[in-house]
Structure 1
Amino acid sequence: MHKIKISAVSYLNTKPFIYGLEQNEIINHIELFQDIPSVVASKLKSGKATIGLVPTAVIPQIPSAKIITDYCIGSDGPVTSVCIYSQVKMEEVEAIYLDYQSRTSVELTRILLKDHWKTNPQLVNAVYGYENKISDATAGLIIGDRSLQLKSSYKFCYDLGEAWKKLTGLPFVYACWVANEPLTEVFSASFNQALKNGIDRIPEVAKQNEFFYPGVDTFDYLMNKIKYPFTDLMRTGVDTFLAQMMTEETVFGNEPSFDVVESSLYK
């Protein structure tokens, strides 16, 4: 029997989704992989997976992309897991290492540096282990579980979800469930219901993961910081970010890598 290949993100914020899928009969009809965001995006673009929890910035680059569920990874203010860390104030930062795990956070950093913090530090593409190089006037963008667990290591923390909210008044969507080919209505409904079931069990999921995230309030993070429903306001946040991202690419002299998002992107 043909199984649909699904690439999910391997972070704490995705655990409710994973729980819902694994506890649902749909698990017998899928192959579920857990990857870092950049790998999820690569699999969807290459066709190695049919469904993925795709970083927002990459969605328009995926052939025939459709956002297929009522759920996402978002925040409406501070997110705590997408942050720039430094030992000096933002206005004193001279260089920033950019996390290699997700393009969305990198593009959001570019926008916020220009329009919110109004600074122009050198941006450096990071490699594994760059967290240890954050010192003096060199800062670092860190996302995901590492961001949650390294928070106490640095003097200053600049939360990108909070900064976006201050800049635009909108929530921010970090990733959406996207398919690169048509799905049956029955499968789509079952997949969406499985995700909902996981979200409904967040207290249980948070409790299960406490041991693996020492020092992290898993309940507060999953219940209060991460916003899962993909509401109309979340869609406005997506459209605003993608349009702004295209503008930034034009400003920096690059050809835009996508067209402004169209309504056909949505299910």
Structure 2
Amino acid sequence: MDKKIKVGIVSYRNTRPLIYGLQHTALSNDIELIEDIPARLADKLKTGEIDLGLVPVAVIPQLGEYHIIGDYCIGTEGEVASVCLFSEVPLNEITRVYLDYQSRSSVALLQWLMRESWGIFPEIIQAEDESYREEIKGTTAGLVIGDRALEQRLISTYIYDLGAEWRAITGLPFVFAAWVSTKSLPASFVQRFNEANAAGIPRIDEIVAANPFPVYDLRKYYTLNLSYQLDERKRKGLELFLSYLKKDNEQPVEA
């Protein structure tokens, strides 16, 4: 390849099994890794700042052209642990909800759950920075994702896991982020990229040892909460979620 392919990677611990091979195989010579939070990675893919990114799947409908690359993702078969609505009161007592500024897919999933499953319609506030977590008290809840959600689990009384809620309703796994490109990539690169993603999956113990995190059991996180294989059932779950997003986008705007 004439130039390195810019690859956007989420700067959370949940990506470590996937990023392992991107850093430790020969592919590392052909790519430039760019770390950021999910929401900004989505923007970078849309503007062409990255060629390929592990981006929130909620951005897919906003892309004129897209290609899902490889067979790996950030997904869950049920309880994901790190994407939750946190509160001090039950769902029916929540009056306000802060949306995580770092999120796209989780925000869309939460809004769908509140409307279609839980039947609650609280005031929605888009968080702008990390200070919103201090507001999760009383009847004010907050969506928190990533490593910060694992920390929040030690603080909040009520924890509503979005992965588990989706599974209970649909019977399908949920895909939070997938490898997406806005242009075709060489087949030879895609194959090597896929192999690099696979390289870290058998090395969970090594990855856990290299990423100490006393807040939560990372081995449980990587092997039980998270599921990295973008298999047929996850693709079905993804297709269903994207159909819901499309339906929402087609709703007429009230005058």
Alignment partners' CA distance in 2, 1:252 and 1:54: 28
Q: Does residue 243 of the first structure (1) align with residue 243 of the second (2)?
A: yes
Contact 1:87–1:134 (Cα < 8 Å) also in 2: yes
Match of 1:184 in 2: 186
Q: Cα RMSD between the aligned structures?
A: 1.3
Matching residue's letter, 2:124? L
Match of 2:222 in 1: 222
1:203 aligned to which of 183, 188, 205: 205
2:139 aligned to which of 137, 142, 157: 137
| Structure 1 unmatched runs, 5+ | 255-267
Matching residue's letter, 2:143? L
Q: Does residue 16 of the first structure (1) align with residue 33 of the second (2)?
A: no
Alignment partners' CA distance in 2, 1:56 and 1:183: 19
Alignment partners' CA distance in 2, 1:174 and 1:206: 22
Identity among equivalent pairs (%): 42
Match of 2:69 in 1: 68
How many equivalent pairs are there? 252
Match of 1:80 in 2: 81
Matching residue's letter, 1:174? F
Matching residue's letter, 1:187? F
Q: CA deviation at 1:194?
A: 0.3
Match of 2:46 in 1: 45
The TM-score, its normalising length taken from structure 2, stands at 0.95
| Structure 2 unmatched runs, 5+ | none
Contact 1:86–1:140 (Cα < 8 Å) also in 2: yes
Alignment partners' CA distance in 1, 2:171 and 2:252: 25
Q: Does residue 29 of the first structure (1) align with residue 30 of the second (2)?
A: yes
Q: CA-to-partner distance for each residue in 1:99-145, whole Å, 9 max, x for gaps? A: 01111111101110112211111111112110001111000000011
Alignment partners' CA distance in 1, 2:252 and 2:84: 23
Contact 1:6–1:31 (Cα < 8 Å) also in 2: yes
Alignment partners' CA distance in 1, 2:206 and 2:224: 15
Match of 1:259 in 2: none
Contact 1:95–1:121 (Cα < 8 Å) also in 2: yes
Alignment partners' CA distance in 2, 1:253 and 1:111: 17
Contact 1:45–1:63 (Cα < 8 Å) also in 2: no
Alignment partners' CA distance in 2, 1:176 and 1:187: 17
Alignment partners' CA distance in 1, 2:245 and 2:30: 36
Contact 2:100–2:127 (Cα < 8 Å) also in 1: yes
Q: Does residue 2 of the first structure (1) align with residue 3 of the second (2)?
A: yes
Alignment partners' CA distance in 1, 2:79 and 2:47: 33
Match of 1:194 in 2: 196
Alignment partners' CA distance in 1, 2:64 and 2:243: 19
Contact 1:44–1:180 (Cα < 8 Å) also in 2: yes
Alignment partners' CA distance in 1, 2:122 and 2:248: 16
Contact 2:98–2:127 (Cα < 8 Å) also in 1: yes
SS of 1:201 mapped into structure 2:
helix
Alignment partners' CA distance in 2, 1:177 and 1:3: 17
Alignment partners' CA distance in 2, 1:248 and 1:50: 28
SS of 2:178 mapped into structure 1:
strand
Contact 2:61–2:246 (Cα < 8 Å) also in 1: no
SS of 1:88 mapped into structure 2:
coil
Q: Does residue 119 of the first structure (1) align with residue 120 of the second (2)?
A: yes
